[in-house]
Amino acid sequence: MKFLHTFTATALELRFNVPIDIEYPELHSVYFQRMGLNKIDKGPYLELIVQPSTKFRYRYESEGATIHRLLHSQNGAKSYPTVKLFNYGKPAFIRCLACRTEDEQYKIHCHSFKMKNVDDIRDPVYLSATEENNFTVSFQGSLIFTKKRDANETLNKKLQRIRAIHRNGHDLSTFEEVSFQIDDFKNININKVVLRFDAYEYLNGQMIQICKPVYSQPILNQKVKVRFFNETWEDFGIFDVTDIHRQFAIVLRTPRYVDVNIDSPVKVKVELVRGDERSEPRTFIYLPQYEVNSSNEDANLFNTSGSDTE
């Protein structure tokens, strides 16, 4: 299998490392939609034969580039979102793009789909569909979370990448133009993503759309929580997405214990919670608050100390 290392569009150089069977020297592309080809009896069509999970914890850049958990299929088996192109018979590209749904309109999402173990490939991601793989491609990757304050910049970068690949003096499709209306990024649901899959043929220096796209079911962000609890009380730690470090540590603010006037150490339990999954509980100890000057702004805070004593 060969790799296309560079797509060149005017002065903009984009690196994709997309596996393909023929190494094309240059990609000056165009977005062109063939209408009426999605019926089995008339032409090619795409089918999403393996759906992603409906719940998945989006990953963060701070967790590292090569350790992101993959999107598994809905039944939990070790498989990945998989798309097949039917009734075509020629080499094609399948594109994966993270989208959002608003009033039945699909627009580009600020979050990104990122391929496994490849630092610089994120959506739009193109994989080759050929006779050798039965025109079936699996997208082994993860959803990367983008904070709202970075959404505008991320959407603009996606716009530049797509326009660089799909331009050759022709207009973009209505979908692309609507997607590029990023002024409403503040209204993005940051906990819901849909994957869009398109099929293209590279023909005479242009990227030609083969058939209508297909969409995955919504993928909801399954957030991780840090739960502190005992027999009569529970509360959760406070942390931001940037406080998760390479899946090894979470920096958080400890929740206030129910009784802030304790005069001796109190043992509680702490555990990670993600949906219905829970980690093994560990012991956490709350200590009585220190004597402080009443003029200190932090006088109402209590001192805490974590210790695994079991």
Of 179, 201, 221, which residue is a domain's last?
Answer: 221
Does 262 share its domain with 278?
yes
Report yes or no on whether pTM surpasses 0.85: no
Does 190 share its domain with 76?
yes
282 φ/ψ angles, rounded to the nearest 5 degrees: -120, 160
Cα gap 81→216, rounded to integer Å: 9
Give the residue numbers spanning the domain of 121: 2-221
Does 242 share its domain with 95?
no
Q: What is the pLDDT of residue 120?
A: 60
Does 76 share its domain with 14?
yes
Does 93 share its domain with 208?
yes
What count of residues does the chain have? 310
CATH number of the CATH domain containing 21: 2.60.40.340
- Domain assignment of residue 132, yes or no: yes
- Domain assignment of residue 239, yes or no: yes
For the chain, the domain total comes to 2
Does 26 share its domain with 136?
yes
Helix (H, G, I), strand (E, B) or coil at 153: helix
Does 257 share its domain with 157?
no
Cα gap 100→179, rounded to integer Å: 10
Answer for the pair 80, 94: CB distance below 8 angstroms, yes or no. Answer: no
Does 116 share its domain with 197?
yes
Does 124 share its domain with 144?
yes
10-residue averages of pLDDT along the chain (310 residues): 28 27 28 38 84 77 56 66 93 91 71 74 85 93 80 79 65 48 63 90 83 89 83 85 64 87 90 78 87 44 39
- Domain assignment of residue 109, yes or no: yes
Answer for the pair 157, 68: CB distance below 8 angstroms, yes or no. Answer: no
- Domain assignment of residue 310, yes or no: no
Does 141 share its domain with 156?
yes
Q: What is the pLDDT of residue 93?
A: 93
Rounded to whole angstroms, what are the CA distances from 144 to 22, 115, 200, 220, 228? 30, 10, 25, 13, 27
Element (H, E) at 102: strand 92-102
- Domain assignment of residue 266, yes or no: yes
Does 248 share its domain with 233?
yes
Does 102 share its domain with 250?
no
Helix (H, G, I), strand (E, B) or coil at 164: helix
CA 245-251-257 angle, to 5 degrees, is: 150
Of 193, 221, 249, which residue is a domain's last?
Answer: 221
Of 194, 221, 248, which residue is a domain's last?
Answer: 221
CATH number of the CATH domain containing 272: 2.60.40.10
- Residue 185 CB neighbours (<10 A): 20
